[in-house]
Amino acid sequence: MFISPAYAAGEAAPQGGGLQLFIMLGLFAVIFYFMIYRPQAKRVKEHKDLMASMGKGDEVLTGGGLVGKITKISEDNDFIVIALNDNNEVTIKKDFVTAVLPKGTMKSL
């Protein structure tokens, strides 16, 4: 009596095509690949190459900031021993090496 009846709108809202959805998903996939996945995969590959190229006598920088010379490499369990100076040696995993330094870097520090 006091409330008037509500009627539905006569026209339906236009529906978006399924093709537009797939184009947007494809665009997001391309952006994801070039902005996130590809650079990360490149960094991982470079780090694996770095770990494979290390040899005895190389001077390295670790993720913790230690600079030392590799004295022993254990191939079976991925650990290396680095000499920080004449008296101190540290055993670390190969993964924690961030850079191989040029020869003579330790003497210049």
pLDDT tens, position by position, 82-93: 999 999 999 999
Percent of the chain with pLDDT over 90: 64
The angle formed by the CA atoms of residues 94, 68 and 89, to the nearest 5 degrees, is: 85
Residues in the chain: 109
Q: What is the pLDDT of residue 27?
A: 96
Q: How far apart are CA 81 and CA 70, in angstroms?
A: 6
Enter the pTM of the model: 0.67
Q: What is the pLDDT of residue 2?
A: 72
* pLDDT tens string 54-104: 999 999 999 999 999 999 998 788 899 999 999 999 999 999 999 999 998
